[in-house]
Structure 1
Amino acid sequence: MGAAGYNDLFQTVFNSAANGIAVLQSLYNDKNKLEDFSILLFNAYTKNWIGDIEYKNKRFSDVFPTIKENGILEKFINAAETGTTANFECWYDGDGIQRWFKFTAVKQDELLVVTTEDITERKKTEITLNNALIAAEKQKRLYDSITGTTPDLVYVFDLSYKFTYANKALLTMWGKSAEDAIGKQLRENGYEDWHAEMHEREIDEVVATKKPIRGTVSFPHAELGRRIYDYIFAPVLNEEGEVEAIAGTTRDITEIKQAEEQQFLSRKKIEESEARLKSMIDQTPSPTLVLMGDNLVIEQINKHMLAMIGRGEEIIGRPLIEVLPELKGQYVWTQVQKVYNEGIPFDQSEVLVPHSRTGVMRNYYYNLAYRPLVEEGKITGMIQVAVDVTQQVEARKRMEESENRFRALVNASSDVVYRMNSDWTIMRNLEGAEVSSDTNEPLLNWIDTYIHPDDRKNAVSFIEEAIANKKIFELEHKVLKEDGTVGWAFSRVIPILDDRNNIIEWFGASSDITSQKEVQQIVKESEEKFRQLADLVPQIIWTGQPNGFIDYYNKRWYEYTGFQENQFGDSSWAPTIHPDEVSKVVEIWYQCVQNGLPYQLEIRLKNAKTNQYRWFLSKAVPVKDARGVIIKWFGTCTDIHEQKTITEKLEILVADRTKELKRSNEDLQQFAHVASHDLKEPVRKIKTFTSRLEDHLDGKIDQSAAKFIDRIHVAADRMYNMIDGVLAYSKINADLQKPTLVDLNEVIKNIEIDLEIALQKTRGNILYHNLPKLEGASVLLYQLFYNLINNSIKFAKNDTPPQIKISSKIISEEGQNFAVILLEDNGIGFEPEQAERIFETFTRLNSKDSYEGTGLGLSLCKKIAERHGGNIVAESNAEGAVFMITLPLKQNENDI
């Protein structure tokens, strides 16, 4: 998707915003000073104000010329230059728009994002409230002024000339009570005929002209005699502008009466002012209260405010902080005190006020307006107006969160996402691009964009059905790509209905399924090739579903069993298996299916042609996806009848041969013992008779004869040792040992004691420390290290005391721990090419005359190491020989 596509997606995502949003690009003059902005993007809310005009890439001041006059452009420029967010309210009058707006301008790189909120209704409410407060304060001052200065009598006539009201001064003048005077005409209240007729004419004139009339009259006072008065009759108009009563005021020109009248009127005016103020507060549609005194006691509160804070009229007369103690320390309470103490009005929208309405603390948001009450130049109280906007704020926040999630979802989707009007005539993707359609072919634009010509007729049918039935439209169809190739898409469009079940728009998405279609075709071709190949091989091949249900056999199966395809379904294999093996096959097969393990079993299957059973090797492996979930089973049955028959014969032969070999080994073992025992007897006789001959000829033999006798002794001893070696070697091969835990430190210590004389004679020394403990046959391990240490002493260099160093380390191989023991000496060593030969039986690398031995010692060492599951290797250098013995720490077998 290109840059234009992303701009269009951005536009549509923000079309649902409740406020106006504009994205502007900074414009600089030839002096590189920012002077205006180029319009990049408006959301639908903003476009509703400016009408259907082309706004993109136009100068912001051209679209909204008055922004220079009211300072809006200047504040936008300042925000773009400084990077400081601008947040202000302004009255906009121009281009047919007369509204109050709240602007927020945020710089983003070289862009300026402007959010516009229509606050006209809120401002009207605030202005109305302010005007009402001003009028009330002015009225109160007026009433106070009148009460303190006027000498007037006040009265009211109805249209039949009856008094409906008369103040106390007038009643005093008449000398009557209100009960005696109210509801009566002029004459009934003591007016003379001429006086009554004059006022009746004046009342008629006021009613006719709806204008006040003024006059002067003299008539007797009940107590003071005749007095002269100045009077005014004024019309009282109803809501339709018709006169419904006549109000009159009469001023006594007598000083004493003037003072009395002034006192009466003053008190009356105060009462009326307070009553009107209370009435105004009660009738105010916004929650309102009046606080008085330093303690800010609630003097008046309307029902809306009582409902908002969840209290009754019992709170009147109590300090506000006592009624709502949770306000203490909050921002809103600080502003209340500031208004009362400093007299500065406070207006703020969406103020956070945590408090308890229903016994549970929670956050509320209010539009607040506070005004001080001033009497005789002193602040005596204040008026508070609070409008609860919690639902609007929370709804806006939820909508913003929803929009952010929706925006993230759309941005993360690889699908083409779009919106269309109810009859599909205009298509818009979520980036805001609009494509007008041909009125004669209302579906052409969408079809041309997303449907290959081969599928258009089918698509039109589906779309018409979706519109008629108000249902979801779904279709897999080919698309013609920009490079001219043909791809596949899956389109799904959902109708959006209003509360009357009418379609207002369509919301849709198109997914590229070209790769899935290609894979399906490849799979289809692959399955066909698999079937062709499977039919060519001599084996029985089959496949199964994840639950073990067999869904395919190749031709070889049907040829062998004689079944027709799908004759028995999944269970077609059961009748072919030998009855003795059916239950075993079923049990093992379904165990493998449940555990996802490979299956392998030798079974007998019945041949339809010969009616005989033949042996088959039945194998199956699970085919898994990337998550390790089995998606299929693949199995084979291979005819092993000939091999099975031969194997059975071979097993009989092997068993017989094994028995024969065992008997032969026992005979050989017995022969070795007998031979070694019988061979020792003539050697002993040779030594005995040689010794007797030496004693018999004592002093009679010359030096040459003595030398020959010594050689006979040496040869006999060598023969005796060789016979013992053969016997020991045969015992090692024959005798089994039980493994125990052997401490090699103890083994070396015992060897050191046994070889004490040889070590003292050669001044030799054995160095070892912290050797491991391991499982083994203690006798054999003693023999192993005894032979190695004895060899190192025997093959020491002339005039060089033997030094034997034994060290060890632990290694791990294939999950098993081994001890690697190095035995190093400083002897004569051996040639590197002889490293392997020294472990061969009867192998001697040095002259038998120079070094004693049978040639069996190292071969015994190798046998012992191998019987323990280890090995031994040797190497030599100028400094001596090195033997490396590797032995497992733990034996796997019960016998060694």
Structure 2
Amino acid sequence: MSHTKQKKHITPASNETLLTLLETLPGALFLLDDDATIVYANAHAQAMIGATRDDVCGKPLWRGAPQLVSTSLYQAVQKAKQTRESTEVEYISPGTNSWLHAWLSPTNEGLSIFFQEYLEPRSPQNAFSRNEHMYRDLLESFSDGVTILTPEGLVLDINQRPLADAHLQREEVIGKPFADSPAWSHDPAVQQQLRAAIARASRGETVRFEARIHPRSDLSLDILMTITSHRDTSQQVEYLICAGRDITERKRIEDELRTLVDAIPHFVWIARPDGHVIYNNQRLIDYLAIPREQVEGDSWIATVHPDDQQRVWDVWQTAIQRGVPYEVEHRMQDGISGAYRWFLVRGMPQRNAEGTILHWIGTCTDIDKQKQAEQRIKASEENLRVLAETVPQLVWTTRPDGRLDYCNQRYCEYTHATFEQLQGYGWRQFLHPEDVERSLALRHHTLATGEPFECEHRLRNGQAGEYRWFLARAMPVRDETGQIVKWFGTNTDIEEQKRTEEALRQSQERIRALIDSNIIGITSNEGEEEVLVDANDAFLHMTGYTREDLNSRTLSRMKITPPEHAPLFQRVLQEVATHGQHTPMETELVCKDGSRLPILAGAVTFQDHPRQMIGFVLDNSARKELEQRKDDFISMASHELRSPLTALKMHTSLLRRQLAMQGFQTSAPALSSMETQINKVTRLVEELLDVSKIQAGRLEYRQETVDLDALLREIADTMQQTHPSHSILVRGAVQANLMADRDRLGQVFTNLISNAIKYSPGAETVEMDLEASPETVTIRVRDHGLGIPREQRDKIFERFYRVTGPKQKAIPGLGMGLYIVAEIVKRHGGTITVESAVGKGSIFTVTLPKKRDTLD
């Protein structure tokens, strides 16, 4: 048998005399049961809330009569139910903005509430009335959204901020579960988060949490929600106060900051004022290879080398307690390899206007190579000095206080001074007077802070008396305790670089002057003949044509463009017809005097005038000249670098033999490293020479019979020996002899395999598939590496272009290899294409014709 309490409604059949009496009352009367459900509403009550008896009976008061609901009424109902004594309350109706006076009396089965409505409070001087006014004014004065809830989560009152965001009226939410409102019900996870918070707050907790809500379909907000409880005199939770602060802008800024932080090439962390780590960027997480939550708080100390943990912890605690910058060097474990690397960790306290620390922001900089170098320097001081005498820089070391205690012979020869004249602070006499103050101030700063030193200044040649620009760099050498024991520095001659920079600066100023002047020509063409009907003064000035020439209607596109560019313009016209505009193109204009003007041109048409074309012309002469100068400079620099590189290779080999004869075997690793770097620079110079020859049309090709299968397998064997980290697989055969330049074709596939290895550090294989058709041979080089974004694939064969991205940027190169490869393939009558997917690798496909009498 069910024991559910039967809900009763008072109907005309209940007691006709009683009902007649109730209906004649001058005010609104509601009868409620023990659950505050409406069982009766007289005619005045129905009129007050604008609903029929059937509409409200059987509904809770809070939902059936939302126009009457307020926090004050809710408190009075709870009080009457608990004490079983009559009470009254006066408040402003948020729905009608009028004053309501309610008398509440317990009945045998529930509660009766009698309402009288007034335009003004019955007792204007009454403190209660003033408090009610203050309550309403205060509620609406909050910039945050404020909602009053029952402990069960029903809405009792709400200010206008959340209603305006959701485009809702107050009566649409009063008496309904707050968690069911559109803003919260859009996302079930967020809705459950709110319900859990209400449950906790109803037990007396103060709950704070962040959430993303959707007040309406076209609006989403990030809010910081705080829910507190209000207790009655018996310390029971009477109602809940929910305050939602809009933090959308703050979250957007935080997201942008985190995106920026994740993009920079450093490990970045953020901690609370008490030192509790709350954020690590993705680079740091990837290095540690552990879940983010395991690094937060104080757990990060476990990633520090055991020998460093106590020292690091003491320095960190001191920084927190004193509020001073944090700096320490320690070893941190690579989560993938298990090896430890040295890092320089710095943290700065971020304060508000009052000086209170809001949080700490810090970085971890990998200094493992630096530490290894310092240890090698410490272990073999003499070998370092021998090395210092072979490099082209001026090399020097100082004590921790900055006093010079060593310089190489090249330094003495440049200054034409003895070591005794330079040691201590004697070297300062060779600084340019205009650079002394700036250089010494920066040097004093780095000596005080231990930061690496880098400065450009001029040094006087002691023999000639002239000043040349040098780039001075210095790094501190530390002992096991982290104390600086020495500074190691170099001065690199950058005089030519500075001259080049000055020349480029002057060129840029000239270009800026041209851009700022009226140099953009604008034309208007009409009809199938593309007759010029109008042009601005800049265009006329460029080409030498006059207004009379325009007015004569004798100028057309065919007359002012070179005949050999006709196919290009046909493609442009098709593009304009299809898209309404075309991408900028480089071409030439035939001027009135017959000369040709290099230009950058664009054009658009408008839907309402499809036969009219507006053209934009920019004088391209300056850029063409700059490109030529740049190519000339690259060519010149490449040639100039070959001689010193050759000499350096020779002296390195000589030094190796001399040291071997003297028994200095410990220098072998350092010399091998030098030779490796020299070979890298040599390859770069050779590629620069090839690029300059390609630009000048002077790259030479030999014509010989090439066994392509033998060539490709020879290249694969050679690359396999020099790159044992990857397996190079060759599949298939072309069985063809080509008329080609064997060395240049070798350069193509050596470059492609080298790139495949370089850009797939985490893979194990590189595959080369060979196949042939009656007319062509096809070679595909496949890797399983980083891949190339779709929007960048068309650009990788351009000169000096490199794929952007944090992982690709870490791989060395100048972007010349694929440009040279594409040019060689083109000269052999072939094509090269690429297919790629980010994170899955790339396939470069080279197609070459079998029969070809000569090279282009």
User: Based on CA coordinates, which of the two structures has the bigger radius of gyration?
Assistant: 1
Q: Normalising by structure 2, what TM-score?
A: 0.25
Q: Normalising by structure 1, what TM-score?
A: 0.24
